A and B are shown apart, each in its own frame.
Chain A
Amino acid sequence: MWTRRQTLRAMAATGLSAALRPSLAQPQPRALLTRPVPSTGEALPAVGLGSWITFNVGDDPVARDACTEVMRNFVEAGGRMIDSSPMYGSSQDTIGYGLHKAALTGRIFAADKVWISSGAQGREQIERSRRKWQVNRFDLLEVHNLLDWEDHLPTLFAMKAAGQLRYVGVTTSEGRRHRDLEQIMRSQPLDFVQVTYNPVDREVEERILPLARDRGIAVIVNRPFRQGALLRALARQSLPPWSADIDCTTWAQFVLKFIVSHPAVTCAIPATTSGAHVRENVSAASGRMPDAAMRQRMIAAVERG
């Protein structure tokens, strides 16, 4: 009979141990669905991380460390885009603390916003945000809720031209100002737009998402869970048995798979305070995805809830 040592020596000789090492050492993240940013082709994992409410924890050291763990889990699971805004209280400080503490700075896609009613103060606010994040530059800056977009967009495009920024975008949420958004998407060379989309809030399917595809604009989806309300409502019913066909084990994955399976969507950005939940969220960008018929079943299942 072969000893364990003999077995390992034989495996080394054949190269088998090297082939098996990753799966024996630790579970590796499954291949994630990525989507190209149309303006550059850069691939982004289809699930990102939001920070609205969840990362606004002030200077509470315990909560800041918990948020750091969320970010660490997110990046280890394969996630990249982290999104914030100067509107989100202390969230930017929390992100900067976590990126620095967990040494994640070079591994993420930093997405932030400019949100101030004076265009002249946009650069100053962006610089304050950058210092809070503790990054050299942002990957993406968006005009938050279209606030003073006429003044802020030229600033962002100038920063992009100067190499101080990689992508430019605008945001709306909860279906507001879609006419304005449409007009901006048609007239400005945007890289990204951010909108609300989930199985209940589907207004963007009519005009915004098709327009984004036509114009080559990446789409970030905010409020995928309606700030948790959608998942709380869905928790009253059990997951449909057929959701196993698209590798869903939770309602959160169910909702995220619905969102990121839309061909125009680049990335959804759910927020959470739990390391386990962030891994579960990221894993929604792996495995089988719903086709058009399945997506209709998903809508029906959610609307029943």
Chain B
Amino acid sequence: MSEWWTYRLTSFLLFSPRTYHRLFELYNIAIWPAQLAGAAIGVAIVAFLIGHRTHRDRIVAGLLAMCWLWVAWAFLYERYAQINPAATWFAAAFAFEALLLVALCVFAGRAVFAPPRGTGFWIAITLVTVAVVGYPLLAPLAGRSWTTAETFGVAPDPTAIATAAALALVRGRVRWLLLTVPLLWCAITAATLWAMATTSGG
């Protein structure tokens, strides 16, 4: 990219906020009631993380992998790529994260979630809960219709936030490998939301 210093974040924004939110609206209508399944999975993940249950680590990782794979295909590849060509790459990254979760956690058992203890644990649990229960409320709080709500398990942002919070509880260096894609996505989506707010005068 020549004269790269002349580019701003808004230079890369290809769509309007209205189109972005409408994308979620059409997606939500098309997949209903999958949002309820996503929310139920989110609640189950919180319950498994708090409770001392057999196979907790594999079950949590497996549920997260399912969500990442669904978002990769149903939202990023099928929907978001219509208005953002880079979404094909995002979909590949989400599928890769699902693969990592399955390979390292479900089969190899490399991810061991820390048991309930200390402030850090409860901050992570709170973040997962907020991403699952609170994130969908942002749409009506921002004055938009419920139909534009973004739900854990089917929309990328709450899925990435909840996953990052849950994976922060994993012990060992594998945690950073697993956290790479979720944290990168959080940065990308923050940049997108910021650029949309800027171009809409918000």
A56, A58, A60, A176: which contacts B3 (Cβ < 8 A)? A176
**Contact-residue bracket for chain B:** 20 to 34
Secondary structure of the A contact surface, majority rule: loop
Task: Please tell me if the beta carbons of B2 and A56 are within 8 angstroms of each other in the complex.
Answer: no
Secondary structure of the B contact surface, majority rule: helix
Task: Please tell me if the beta carbons of B14 and A89 are within 8 angstroms of each other in the complex.
Answer: yes
Task: Please tell me if the beta carbons of B14 and A88 are within 8 angstroms of each other in the complex.
Answer: yes
Nearest CB of A to B54, in Å: 45
Task: Please tell me if the beta carbons of B82 and A58 are within 8 angstroms of each other in the complex.
Answer: yes
Taking A53-B14, A63-B19 as contacts, is the C-beta distance between A90 and B2 under 8 angstroms?
no
**Residues on the A chain within 8 Å of B79, using CB:** 58
Taking A56-B83, A57-B83, A89-B85 as contacts, is the C-beta distance between A175 and B6 under 8 angstroms?
yes
Task: Please tell me if the beta carbons of B2 and A176 are within 8 angstroms of each other in the complex.
Answer: yes
Task: Please tell me if the beta carbons of A177 and B82 are within 8 angstroms of each other in the complex.
Answer: no
- The answer to whether the Cβ of B171 comes within 8 Å of any Cβ in the partner chain is no
**Residues on the A chain within 8 Å of B180, using CB:** none
Task: Please tell me if the beta carbons of A56 and B14 are within 8 angstroms of each other in the complex.
Answer: yes
A228 to B200, CA, bound (A): 8
Task: Please tell me if the beta carbons of B22 and A89 are within 8 angstroms of each other in the complex.
Answer: no
Task: Please tell me if the beta carbons of A176 and B6 are within 8 angstroms of each other in the complex.
Answer: yes
A58 to B6, CA, bound (A): 28
**Residues on the B chain within 8 Å of A62, using CB:** 22
Near B by CB (< 8 A), chain A positions 9-34 give: none
Taking A89-B82, A177-B3 as contacts, is the C-beta distance between A56 and B199 under 8 angstroms?
no
Interface string of B139-171 (1 = CB under 8 A from A): 000000000000000000000000000000000
Task: Please tell me if the beta carbons of B22 and A60 are within 8 angstroms of each other in the complex.
Answer: yes
- The answer to whether the Cβ of B15 comes within 8 Å of any Cβ in the partner chain is yes
Nearest CB of B to A7, in Å: 51
A227 to B201, CA, bound (A): 11
- The answer to whether the Cβ of A54 comes within 8 Å of any Cβ in the partner chain is yes
Q: Which A-chain residue is minimally distant from B201 (CB atoms)?
A: A232
Near A by CB (< 8 A), chain B positions 65-83 give: 79, 82-83
Q: Which A-chain residue is minimally distant from B10 (CB atoms)?
A: A227
A303 to B18, CA, bound (A): 30
**Residues on the A chain within 8 Å of B13, using CB:** 53
**Residues on the B chain within 8 Å of A60, using CB:** 19, 22-23, 26
**Residues on the A chain within 8 Å of B189, using CB:** none
A229 to B199, CA, bound (A): 7
Interface string of A144-183 (1 = CB under 8 A from B): 0000000000000000000000000000001111000000
**Residues on the A chain within 8 Å of B16, using CB:** 53-54, 56, 273
A232 to B201, CA, bound (A): 7
Task: Please tell me if the beta carbons of B83 and A58 are within 8 angstroms of each other in the complex.
Answer: yes
Nearest CB of A to B68, in Å: 22
**Residues on the B chain within 8 Å of A42, using CB:** none
Binding site for A on B (CB under 8 A): 2-3, 6, 10-11, 13-16, 18-19, 22-23, 26, 79, 82-85, 199, 201
- A-B pairs, top 7 by smallest CB distance, nearest first, are A58-B82, A89-B83, A89-B14, A232-B201, A176-B3, A58-B83, A56-B15
Sample of 13 more A-B contacts, CB < 8 Å, known A57-B83, A174-B6, A176-B6: A53-B14, A53-B15, A56-B83, A57-B15, A58-B23, A59-B82, A60-B26, A63-B19, A89-B15, A176-B3, A177-B2, A232-B201, A273-B16
